[in-house]
Amino acid sequence: MAYDNLDIKVRKGVLILTINREKALNALNQKTIEELTHFFSVSAPRRKKIKGIVLTGAGEKAFVAGADIKEFLTVKEGEGSDFAQRGQDVFFMIENFPKPVIAAVNGFALGGGCELAMACHMRIAGAQARFGQPEVNLGIIPGYGGTQRLVQLIGKGKAMELILTGDMIGAEEAHRLGLANHVVPVGEEVAKAREIIEKIATKGPVAVSQAIKCVNAYYDKLVDGFAYEVKLFGTTTDTADFREGATAFVERRPAEFKGE
């Protein structure tokens, strides 16, 4: 599938995925949602050799400034739930992707953009980044997981305040609250994200994918996270990666993982 709104580049094994709608501040229209869905369900899983994905927005003003409001106005009565479900479906794909997906937030991350960043495993904020869920200003609520993931990341009280007031916060406050993992100078967001992915790439690939599953299980009400951890711990001890990692530790040498 050829993408109109996504730009894909691979640099030393790290895939840089850029939402490329700069004139619209990279707003998430339905075409972009469809392309993200195809990318994370079909294209990305086929790229076995990539170390991870950095997700960012084109230009200097916005990561993703929100959903496309003009499209909201075309939603007919009774269609809103389907509209939200499509976004949530692809964001779950990102959250559960077996390799690290890091948001490089280079400007506004509002509404659907904040929700997209929160679906990633980590967030690197440029100094000028701004986060928020301003949907109440439009008379609606977040629909792509914002009422759930924001609580998970920063706690109920502050999440409630931001969602009900529609206020934005800057990079430093986002970092203080736990919404952003790091704050870096403007223009260094992708480089920092790549640095983290390169570090993770030196670890056992099977262990990384299983750890992602276990951390996500904490928030799944249908899963006993502790029991799930026990189960997946057992799967990792049966791998060649574990034998290589443990042997390398004893022999005081770098491990050479093969993802097996």
pTM of the complete model:
0.96
Strands 130-132 and 168-170: antiparallel
Q: What is the pLDDT of residue 72?
A: 75
Orientation angle between helical segments 112-119 and 80-95, nearest 10 degrees: 30
Pick the closest to residue 164 from 198, 128, 140, 144 (CA basis).
Answer: 140
Q: What is the pLDDT of residue 168?
A: 98
What's the mean pLDDT when you consider all of the chain?
95
Q: What is the pLDDT of residue 67?
A: 82
| Three-class secondary structure assignment of 168-211 | EEEHHHHHHHCCCCEEECCCCHHHHHHHHHHHHCCCCHHHHHHH
Pick the closest to residue 205 from 241, 249, 238 (CA basis).
Answer: 241
pLDDT digits (tens, 9 = 90+) for 187-212: 999 999 999 999 999 999 999 999 99
With 80 as the cut, is the pLDDT of residue 75 above it? no
Structure tokens at 240: 């060649």
Active site residue 115: yes
With 90 as the cut, is the pLDDT of residue 14 above it? yes
From the list 115, 189, 195, 198, the catalytic residue is 115
Tell me the HSE value of 60 on the side-chain side, using a 13 A CA sphere: 6
Pick the closest to residue 127 from 65, 57, 55, 185 (CA basis).
Answer: 185
Contact between 28 and 64 (Cβ < 8 Å): yes
Cα dist from 19 to 22, 177, 217, whole Å:
8, 26, 28
On whether the 6-200 domain is CATH 3.90.226.10, my answer is yes
Residues 82 and 80: their CA atoms lie apart, in Å, by 5
77/90: higher pLDDT: 90
Q: In the chain, where are the structural domains located?
A: 6-200, 205-250
Q: What is the pLDDT of residue 76?
A: 76
Active site residue 172: no
pLDDT digits (tens, 9 = 90+) for 139-181: 999 999 999 999 999 999 999 999 999 999 999 999 999 999 9
From the list 35, 135, 229, 244, the catalytic residue is 135
Average pLDDT over residues 10-15: 96
